[in-house]
Amino acid sequence: MSDPRWGKLADVLVNYSISLKEGEVVVINYRDVPDEMMGILIKKVYEKGGIPLLTSMSQKVCRAYLKDTNEATMKTYSEVELALHKRAQASIILWGSSNLTELSDVPEEKMSLMTKHDQVVVDWISNHLKWVLLNWALPSAAQSAEMSTAGFEDFYFDACTMDYSKMSMAMDPLVELMRRTDRVRLVAPGTDLEFSIKGMPAIKCAGNFNLPDGEVFTAPIRDSVNGTIRYNTRSAYLGKIYDNIAFRFKDGRIVESSSSRTAEMNAILDSDEGARYVGEFAIGLNPFINKSMLNVLFDEKIAGSIHLTPGNAYDLAPNGNKSRHHWDIVLIQTKECGGGELYFDDVLVRKDGLFVLDELRGLNPENLK
């Protein structure tokens, strides 16, 4: 039996996130999502006069597909996917997984093939289509969050169906401030990092790209990043879990790196030139997300967090960095997680996860819920 909240979620996806118009084609890529939810979503698309095209592959099938794949297969697959998306005006991606590490035993060279060819499709979607990415709420996600299934579902729907139009308006002063800012400094335990965002666009994400959503992102000037950062959340990337991640930057490049899987992490960072440079800097703002859940779509939205991302830059905030990777890793600066400060041009903007400037206080959790 479907949950009545599924209809509200489908409505947000179709009518708010991608604002589907009559006659528009939307590619729906889904993985391990209940049939009932898919039926509700498809009905919403038809109600708007849209044309749904469906692609699906479970996480277990994806593992089997990748373990013995080859260059020709991945190239052909990406070409077909790209042609499909070039026919569309919008994309909805709904992915669930009963096992976060299902792809952990796929050989690194096979994962590298996948990321290389998949990047072409990802770039097209992110730069040419209206799109939204959603992680479906499965019991495995509740387990990663160390929550009961029912408790996680309540949290999940609160975070995914909040008043994003209110959040969007509250983001405007932060966007304007970031557009006027030159130098950014991050301070936290093990972290003292500086970089420039002078002249870079600042993009607000309030339900249009991800669900849950809640971040404002930009990108550092590519060669301007200097100092150290120690992330205080675990990160699941390409089927493996990394902890205690730390980087030292010199003139934009990661020159020292360590983690619970240092060798494997360095293999990723050495896979192409852009993987050791930063493609995104973002500030997390979702008031319903206050702790790490080992799920990047949630963790990067944590109120009081930032993420500094090795790898590819988005065309919406282009700093010239290109890579097959885009690895969002999160530092939480709330008091409960060790605290920290965020400075713009030597002015304190946020302390211990709470904004201190009057024009930004509307983004603090108590004012967004």
Mean pLDDT over 287-291 rounds to 95
Give the pLDDT of residue 237.
Answer: 94
Q: What is the pTM of this model?
A: 0.88
DSSP strand pairing (25-31 vs 90-95): parallel
Residue 145 pLDDT exceeds 90: no
Fold classified for 5-136: Thermophilic metalloprotease-like (3.40.1830)
Percent of the chain at pLDDT exceeding 90: 91
- Distance CA(125)–CA(89), nearest Å, equals 9
pLDDT, tens digit (0-9, with 9 covering 90-100), for 157-209 = 999 999 999 999 999 999 999 999 999 999 999 999 999 999 999 999 999 99
Give the pLDDT of residue 1.
Answer: 56
SS3 annotation, 40-86:
HHHHHHHHCCCEEEEEECCHHHHHHHHHCCCHHHHHHHHHHHHHHHH
Which residue in the block uniquely carries the two structure tokens 């479906």? 136
Question: 239 falls in which pLDDT band (50, 70, 90)?
Answer: confident
Average pLDDT, the chain: 95
Could you tell me the residue ranges of all domains in the chain? 5-136, 164-368
DSSP strand pairing (354-355 vs 253-258): unpaired
pLDDT, tens digit (0-9, with 9 covering 90-100), for 10-66 = 999 999 999 999 999 999 999 999 999 999 999 999 999 999 999 999 999 999 999
Report whether 279 contacts 116 (CB < 8 A). no
Give the pLDDT of residue 366.
Answer: 96
Instruction: Give 109: exposed, middle or buried? Use CB within 10 Å, 0-12, 13-18, 19+.
Output: exposed
Specify the range with the lowest mean pLDDT, choosing from 94-108, 172-186, 325-339: 94-108
